[in-house]
Chains A and B, each alone.
Chain A
Amino acid sequence: METPVEMQFDDPAQQREASALGMWTFLASEVLFFGGVFTGYSIYRWKYPHAFAEASHHLYEWIGAVNTAILLTSSLFIALAVQALHTERPRRAWRLIIATLICGLAFLSLKAVEYWMDYQEGLVPGVRFDASKFTDPAPATLFFTFYFSMTGLHAAHVISGLLVLTVIGITLRRATDPGKYANSLENGALFWHLVDIIWIFLFPLLYLIGGPK
């Protein structure tokens, strides 16, 4: 079963195309939204390469790597869920959505632990910042401001993605005809993948930019 065709569309394919185009337009606005912060980061990384490298070494590379693995896995799960619904296996789709949600929660939990460890170490500008750790504290402050705003903005997107997928998941689960929600699940999945792509770039830019310790 497919999503029922609304009156303004000729057929399911046209409706699917319109819904995907709308989603991609939104994703493009998201790319440019994050793009502004990425550009700002790049400018200051170019201006203060050594201070950024030194500051980056204070982050927990292993947490960043594990979180990358978690998000990549979640992307696989949600892609499998989309496919499961297309091949009319709604129960499998439901289970895969649950798996995606668990991954998202694991990511956020690990991120919260990491923020706490950063706080303990005095890496939070304006709240608890230990300037004595750095040879050049001013640009190091800048680095951590970027770190918290970029990862914070990203975490907010993970939370929105979790909410969206939860609603879609529950709707699917309760529907007598789950195939109706194929378009919604595909768009939710597109959003989730974009959030994954943003993290794919945040990981090397924030955690690995200093090279080997």
Chain B
Amino acid sequence: MTGGPRTATLYWTAVALGLLLGGTIVATEFLGRAGPTVNLVIAAVKAALVAVVFMHLRWSSPLQRLFAGAAFFWLAILFALTFADYLTRRA
């Protein structure tokens, strides 16, 4: 790791995460059927904030980012191939 986040960056990230959590509650109460979808998008943003700032990916080497990205790339394959099967089955 070179450099790394400043203390203020860490605090502001935590504030942003708190606001996003609040946003999740609001979305559930007021957005009706769109709520769960919005909640998953919010979850993805939160996860990205944790990974980029708290887990230092923003300050990491490209190789570390590649390793982190590979996890989600393979996860995407797992989901894509599984759903390619289920969504195309005939009843």
Contacts and interface: CB of A to CB of B under 8 A. Distances in A.
24 contacts: A13-B2, A16-B1, A17-B63, A21-B63, A21-B64, A21-B67, A24-B64, A24-B67, A31-B72, A31-B74, A32-B75, A35-B78, A42-B83, A43-B82, A65-B25, A72-B17, A72-B46, A76-B10, A83-B7, A189-B55, A193-B50, A204-B43, A208-B39, A212-B28
A20 B43 contact: no
A99 interface: no
B36 A80 contact: no
B4 A28 contact: no
Interface residues of A, number: 49
A203 B43 contact: yes
Interface residues of B, number: 51
Interface of B: 1-2, 4-5, 7, 10-11, 13-14, 17-18, 21, 24-25, 28-33, 35-36, 39-40, 42-43, 46-47, 50-51, 53-56, 60-61, 63-64, 67-68, 70-72, 74-75, 78-79, 82-83, 86-87
Nearest to A183: B1
Nearest to B48: A197
A79 interface: yes
Interface of A: 13, 16-17, 20-21, 24-25, 27-28, 31-32, 35-36, 39, 42-43, 46-47, 61, 65, 68-69, 72-73, 75-76, 78-80, 82-83, 86, 186, 189-190, 193-194, 196-197, 200-201, 203-205, 208-212
A28 B71 contact: yes
Given A200-B43, A203-B43, A193 B51 contact: yes
